[in-house]
Amino acid sequence: MQINPRNLVLTTLEHIEKDDAYSNMAIKEALDGHPDMDARDKALFKRLTEGCVERQIELDYIIGLNSKVKFNKIKSVIKYILRMGIYQILYMDAIPDSAACNECVKLASKRGLGNLKGFVNGILRSVTRQKGTGIPYPDKENARLDYLSVKYSFPQWIISMWDKNLGEDLTEKLLESYLNTRKVSVRVTGSGMERIRDNADFVNTDLLPMAYEGASGVVVSSSEEFKEGLVTIQDISSMLAVLCAGIHSGDTVLDVCAAPGGKTIFAAELAGNEGRVMGFDISEKKIPVMNAGKSRMHADNVKFAVGDATRINENLIEKGDVVICDVPCSGLGVIGKKRDIKYKASPDRIKDLVPVQSKILDTACQYVKPGGVLLYSTCTIVPEENELQVKNFLKNHPEFETDCLTEFVPDKLKSRLQKNGVDFGPDSYELQLLPVYGDMDGFYMARLKKKKGNDDRYKIPDNR
């Protein structure tokens, strides 16, 4: 049976909004459910669904500009159809404007809303005309927040927060970076380095020795190198966080929030066959997925298990040479990959996350041996979850001190960051990465060390 990709887009957009589903998962479910769909139709479906989610604020603004009916009075299905049509007209040059309009009109009829065909057609024809003269966006000089919110489809509260913390110029560069197309970054194992070096399907990023990108058109997860465990999909920022932990051969490494397991498996490679690596996650459902990754990557020195990072495991106390604490966070650093995070995040959500992160830190730090390292990381760009969280931890845990991570940042990446104004020094124990620095996620990491020596003040009380 022939699948209409636009109808599948409409169904998926309905599912995302009505069921509060994450778009990346909804897209995967739809593609998995239609394995026989033509490759071109799959590409159209994926691009159009992602685009409608990514630019939703802008698309809805344009609908409002061109509709005589108040936006909140427009039927939901018609909103989705209009978003699809406008996105095709503005951002998919390979599709004629007339075809985009006609297909959306057909969708309205197919959904039993033939009486609204004229409404759909009228708005889309109007947008087609505006495309030639320029969409009348809010005035940047007099309504900067409105302009940036519409132009880059970002909630205003996030823009205001970044304006305050990063400055207006860097904030706009950051917003723009999230709309750029990014290649898939992969980590190459030591054993795979020789084979990948001369493989045209993979290109070195020139930032980290083990960091490559899939060449244009290459589906990394379908490659023989991926199946053989020579490469795995992992962002540069995630790789760097593991490098900054300073793992040595033979180390015992504990990863208290391990899913999806990429950092844990990289840690296992660095720890070597003599090392011992354990990864824990609160979700039992994620363990088989992580074990599958472990098997594919031949990481025999890794053990994954269910574990609540907020509750103490007495068997782990002072067992870790390195403890990785990559906590649940607002995720505002990975919006380029998970487009709807920006709509699901909120100040209240961040406020709720901060004490959870703090509790995980308070628990995980007890697993660090004297002289060992605690590596704290998030994939967000929020001071309360990052630098302020670490400062609060250090205030409450005098048994820990900061430890410079500069030596673990390769020179080429260090040079790139310095050109973008990131200051490195002998006391630099933390690093906030931003997508504007290159093809990487927004990521925070801090390297902390447990002081050597015994001190009864820091032992866990018997009545815990």
> Quick check: 283 pLDDT over 90?
yes
> Quick check: 255 pLDDT over 50?
yes
> Quick check: 33 pLDDT over 70?
yes
Average pLDDT, integer, range 151-169: 97
Q: Of all residues in the chain, what percent are helix, strand and coil, respectively (each to 5)?
A: 50, 15, 35
> Quick check: 462 pLDDT over 90?
no
pTM: 0.92
Confidence of residue 364 (pLDDT cuts 50, 70, 90): very high
Domain 246-458 has CATH 3.40.50.150: yes
Judging by DSSP bridges, how do beta strands 276-281 and 302-306 pair with one another? parallel
Question: Read out DSSP for 72-114?
Answer: GGS-HHHHHHHHHHHHHHHH-TTS-HHHHHHHHHHHHHHTT-G
d(CA 360, CA 55): 35
> Quick check: 182 pLDDT over 90?
no
Average pLDDT, the chain: 93
The better pLDDT of the pair 458, 411 is held by: 411
CATH classification number, 185-233, choose in 3.40.1350, 3.40.390, 3.30.70, 3.40.50: 3.30.70
pLDDT, one tens digit per residue, over 189-230 is: 998 998 888 888 898 888 999 999 988 777 888 899 999 999
In this predicted structure, what is the pLDDT of residue 197?
A: 84
Cis peptide bond upstream of 155, omega within 30? no
Report the 10 Å Cβ neighbour count for 233: 16
Confidence of residue 309 (pLDDT cuts 50, 70, 90): very high
Confidence of residue 1 (pLDDT cuts 50, 70, 90): low
The residue assigned the tokens 């490759």 is 39
Contacts of 33 (CB under 8 A, 6+ apart): none
In this predicted structure, what is the pLDDT of residue 464?
A: 33
> Quick check: 457 pLDDT over 80?
no
- Tokens representing 264 are 């844990």
> Quick check: 39 pLDDT over 90?
no
In this predicted structure, what is the pLDDT of residue 438?
A: 82
Average pLDDT, integer, range 65-76: 94
> Quick check: 460 pLDDT over 50?
no
Weakest mean pLDDT among 326-330, 432-436, 450-454: 450-454
> Quick check: 11 pLDDT over 90?
yes
Helices (H) and strands (E) in the chain, counts: 19, 12
Average pLDDT, integer, range 351-360: 98
State how far the alpha carbon of 23 is from the alpha carbons of 11, 20, 26, 219, in Å.
Answer: 12, 9, 5, 20
Under DSSP, the state recorded for 215 is P
CATH classification number, 5-133, choose in 1.10.940.10, 3.40.50.300, 1.10.600.10, 3.30.2010.10: 1.10.940.10
Confidence of residue 398 (pLDDT cuts 50, 70, 90): very high
Nearest residue to 123 via CA among 177, 189, 44, 59: 59
Confidence of residue 94 (pLDDT cuts 50, 70, 90): very high
Average pLDDT, integer, range 245-261: 96
CA dihedral 368, 373, 377, 383 (to 10 degrees): 100
Give the rounded percent of residues in the chain with a pLDDT score beyond 90.
83
> Quick check: 423 pLDDT over 90?
no
Domain ranges of the chain: 5-133, 185-233, 246-458
Weakest mean pLDDT among 6-10, 61-65, 329-333, 435-439: 435-439
